[in-house]
Amino acid sequence: MSHSRRIVAAMATLAVLVAVPATATAKSTSKGSANASVQVSVDKATKAVKRMKRYARLGNSSAVARQLKIARTQSAAASRTARTLANTATTGNQSVAAAQALTLAGTQYDQLVEAITAIVDQITGQVQALVANAIAPSLAGKQKIIEVLTQMLGQVPVEVQPVIASIIAALSVGDATEVVNLDEALTSGALPSGIAGIVSQSLGMATGLINQAFSMIQGIVPMLPTAVQGPLTQILNMVTSTVGTIVPSVLSTVTGLIDTIIGSLPFVGGTTATSGGMFGLGGLLGGLVGGGSQDLPGNFGGMLSNLLGGLFGGGSGGTGDSTGTGAQGGGIAGIGGILNSVTGLLGNLLGGLFGGQTAPAT
């Protein structure tokens, strides 16, 4: 998922959390001010990241360094405040408020990681070293938030658990943009040897965290919405049974597929007006490889396209009944049957991707 889509998805999820009656205690002055403090830090960090990327394009290294410092400082501040909220939460209501703050902070770290891995080969000199050395700590900062969110799953009200679990999955294995960015920086051959060593270590760390997350997510699949449990289990079983480290291009495809499935949930942005409130999977094929079904191995692109076209009339909305097989109906339950129909194709698709394409990423 691109950063902009992730922000929209996270904010949509936050709106659902706020709508849960149990979150009413967010009115508490101390908790409310703490959440406001997280938002202020995130806003400052977001602005700094945008400026940093712009200055990198302009070749203004000194300005990149200034904005990098602000972005890192404010991202860390948001994380500290959010984690304090989580550590001091004593009720389910307070845990939900803390989860909101952690989601904001985690999304911000995700934005920071994507940005610095994208610009590390765009700048030179001492500032390039600053950017390269910021990657590993930023990855660790994001990971710390994911770990705290995972620990909180048992503390939030049961009706909120699917939302939190979906956030964890999205932040953990929702995309591999940083892995692709780092791999492209290395393969370009443009990095000085010292910087290349740092970037290589960061690539190993980023890939390792995603691989660990695949196993971790398997443990929380039962907490995810029922509709996505089958497809995600199919993917995770395939990935975790694969020997070796997945090459970045394949890893990106797999995480993109997971991202699209998570993104189809109504509280992450999958509900559209044309679908009558149902899940929309119109972006599934594009999300697979970032380029469309023609890039899929064999004829799986066509198979998926035909399947989705029959189910959604072109992929714009849902038409299944509660079993996912009828033309009438329209409850959320319908998507379970639809996604499970796709599940049968996922094994073949992933088998084609993994066939002879697993190798160390570094």
For 155-171, what is the mean pLDDT? Answer: 88
3-class state of residue 270 by DSSP: coil
| 198 and 171 together in one domain | yes
Strand partners, 271: 279
Query: Which of 166, 200, 224 is the last residue in one of the domains?
Result: 224
**Number of domains comprising the chain:** 2
Distance, CA of 315 to CA of 303 (rounded, Å): 13
Clarify whether residues 185 and 150 are in a common domain. yes
Report how far residue 161's alpha carbon sits from residue 320's, in angstroms, rounded to the nearest whole number.
26
Residue 302 has pLDDT above 80, yes or no: no
CA 65 to chain centre: 27
Same domain? For 63 and 5 the reply is yes
Mean pLDDT, rounded, for 210-219 = 90
Give me the pLDDT at residue 295, please: 41
Q: Distance between CA atoms of 113 and 118, rounded to whole angstroms?
A: 8
Report the percent of the chain where pLDDT is more than 70: 62
What is the rounded distance in angstroms from the CA atom of residue 52 to the CA atom of residue 122?
12
**pLDDT per position as a tens digit, 236-251:** 887 776 645 577 877 8
| Whether residue 229 is found in the same domain as residue 219 | no
Q: Do residue 202 and residue 244 come from a single domain? A: no
The total number of residues written for the chain in this structure: 362
Beta bridge partners of 279: 271
User: With bands split at pLDDT 50, 70 and 90, how would you rate the model's confidence at 32?
Assistant: low
Domain boundary residue among 224, 248, 269? 224
Please tell me the distance from the alpha carbon of residue 173 to that of residue 254, in angstroms, as a whole number. 9
- Which residue reads 């390792």 in tokens? 208
Q: Structure pTM?
A: 0.75
Tokens of 183: 């791999």
Residues 142 and 287 reside in one and the same domain: no
3-state secondary structure at position 268: helix
The range of the structural domain enclosing residue 148 comes to 1-224
Q: 191 and 340 in one domain? A: no
Domain end call among 201, 224, 247? 224
Look at the block and give the residue holding tokens 């200034």: 66
Question: How far is the C-alpha of 92 from the C-alpha of 147, rounded, in Å?
Answer: 18
Backbone angles phi, psi at 182, to 5 degrees: -65, -40
In angstroms, the CA 135 to CA 142 distance is: 11
b/e code 7-37 from CB counts within 10 Å (16+ = b):
bebbebbbebbeebebbeebeeeebeebbeb
Q: Identify the band that residue 144 occupies on the pLDDT scale cut at 50, 70 and 90.
A: very high
Four-point Cα dihedral 224, 230, 232, 238, nearest 10: 150
Given a cut of 50, whether residue 294 has pLDDT beyond it is no
